[in-house]
Amino acid sequence: MTPRTRWTSAGTLTATLIAAAVLAACGGGGGGATPATPPTDTPLRVQLEKIGGYSTGLFGVSAAEIPAYDAASQRLFMVNAQAGKVDVLDLRVPASPVKIGEIDATAVLAGAEINSVAVHDGLVAVAIQAPVKTDPGRVALFRAADLALLGSAAVGAQPDMITFTPDGRTVLLANEGEPSDDYQIDPEGSISIVDVSTPATPVVRTAGFSAFNAQKAALQAAGVRVYGPNATVAQDLEPEYITVSADGRTAWATLQENNAFAKIDIASATVTDILPLGFKDHGVAGNELDASDTDGGTINIRTWPGVRGLYLPDSIASYSAGGQTYLVTANEGDARAWGEDNAAYWAGDASKGFVEEFRVKHLVNRSGWAGRAGNDLPPQLNALAAGGLLDPVTFGHCGAIAGNPGACRNDENLGRLNVTWTMGYRTNPDGSPMLFDATGAANPAGNRLMYDHLYSYGARSFSIWNADGQLVWDSGAEFERFLASADCKLGSARSIPCADFFNSGHDEGSAKDSRSDAKGPEPEGIAVGQVNGRTLAFIGLERMGGVLVYDITVPTAPRRLDYLNTREDWTTADPGTVLATAGDLGPEGLVFIPAARSPIGVPLLVVGNEVSGTTAVYRINATGGVR
């Protein structure tokens, strides 16, 4: 099959599709006999309640990341990145999980570590990264009941996430293929599609991206971020997370740094589409953000014309509504930062790394950026020009004039915001930078870039897309506005005002507003499940912490139902010193356990918290919904 690239822009559902989704959400449908007793549909109310947990006792070393659950053995499998293993917990009593074993990857590949785990009807699949991450990894299969190794096979470089198809016969791995830290080796990203129907002899097929190499310029023009130095398309695309359609025929992988989806036909093991995701306009009402971490500790959520947020989603899930498949993403954001610890790179050797993140105040300093040389000035940026300017038409709202960014670069405005220097400047028809002089006049002999827009990382939201990557709904500024409101409370008792610790970091105390210049609350993990006939999305906020719950049954009209953040200590400078009582910090991965598979007959949510090294078990208390 010849791959085709579909380049789509954000769109909306047709009236027919919306009506179908609403009808399905209300318990109706097309065809078939009318039930004798019509279903009732009352407003769903949900409250998360932490009922148990397990602690590794390790702080800040990613000792609890990705969970998976096996209903038959009632065992929870939690990736412990610090140990490079999977911790196995007995979840028969969810209030008191007990570690009963572990899965060690070194028996499969010496010196390796496990990045991800998935379970289907007693079969445990793990994604194993090689000791040298640019080398091929492996997939390994274990029996949940006794942890016996059943089989393994080679896959692509840096398998970062693994998932089963609904029938359990196939696993898919997102082989991220990140470059080496010095950028000397850059393996191709890929999707491994593995037949595990005979676990002793798994059969691997690879859906790669090499067929798109000749389409690099067209992909870039369409909005796919293909921008690594000297990289082919296949090298530059980095699959992060995968979801599979209910019929098991199609998969979608987030290409996080590339701000796109890959659409995969599972039967043919072919990437059929690369779908650019576009950006969020932070200059319009509803998409506001707090852009500074040094504005006196105040909460300043406002529009910023000229600032655009790249979605750059991490986790992705899928569900069906009205006969259509929808994709749900946690729009974390991520910057490429290779060679950041390499002195030679910062000394000017562009071959030793690639760092795209730069603060606005340094990017548009009217004196140029030479003063950052040897500190944090990327040599690739320095090779383009000697400084950057802000378009006074776009950024006149914060004081920019020709040749002078004015108050826009002040810390309390946009100065502290982290953006990518690789996008937003004006270019010539051939794609080369258009140059300006220091007065702001276009001049081929000049040495300044003109930034018409600034692109920040992540959308500080979660989104719903259709199967072709068109935006159906986005939460806009709701996360930050809710965290700043009097309705939001922290702690297991829900008694601590969220606003007192707005946009805090997950590994520090007394840190109000500390993440506003970066990615805000940083939504990362997402899980989707059915409760009382409604489809719910659970979104973990990596930095601020806690889990948001939304009813997404109608894709165009999600509704927030709850937020629980069980972090208890918000003031100790180093939470690791009070780890036993600090609570849960840094949610990374989430798994939903439906009532029918739950050890206690009610739905549960399990969260791996990478900073506190804790596993949290939440009971989902629900009333109402479709009965």
Q: Domains along the chain?
A: 15-28+40-277+313-334+458-626 (2.130.10.10), 338-456 (no CATH)
Which residues face 265 on adjacent strands? 250, 270
The predicted structure's pLDDT at residue 626: 80
Give pLDDT < 70 ranges for the chain: 1-40, 627
564's tokens: 């629980």
The predicted structure's pLDDT at residue 297: 82
Q: pLDDT tens across 42-51, in order?
A: 889 999 999 9
Separation CA 155–CA 174 (nearest Å): 10
The predicted structure's pLDDT at residue 40: 59
305: number of Cβ within 10 Å: 15
The predicted structure's pLDDT at residue 42: 86
Query: What DSSP designation does 591 have?
Result: E
**Contact assessment for residue 454 and residue 414, using Cβ atoms and an 8 Å cutoff:** yes
- How far is C-alpha 307 from the chain's CA centre? 20
Q: Which residues are within 8 A (CB) of 221 and not within 5 positions of it... i.e. 6 or more apart?
A: none
Q: pLDDT tens across 80-110, in order?
A: 999 999 999 999 999 999 999 999 999 899 9
Which residues face 325 on adjacent strands? 320
The H or E element containing residue 195 is strand 190-195
Closest to 155 (Cα-Cα) out of 170, 169, 175, 171: 175
The predicted structure's pLDDT at residue 296: 81
Q: Which residues are within 8 A (CB) of 603 and not within 5 positions of it... i.e. 6 or more apart?
A: 529, 531, 592, 593, 594, 595, 619, 620, 622
The predicted structure's pLDDT at residue 167: 98
Please state whether beta strands 98-104 and 85-90 pair in parallel, antiparallel, or not at all (unpaired): antiparallel
Burial class (CB in 10 A: 0-12, 13-18, 19+), 103: buried
Burial class (CB in 10 A: 0-12, 13-18, 19+), 302: exposed
Q: Which residues are within 8 A (CB) of 494 and not within 5 positions of it... i.e. 6 or more apart?
A: 564
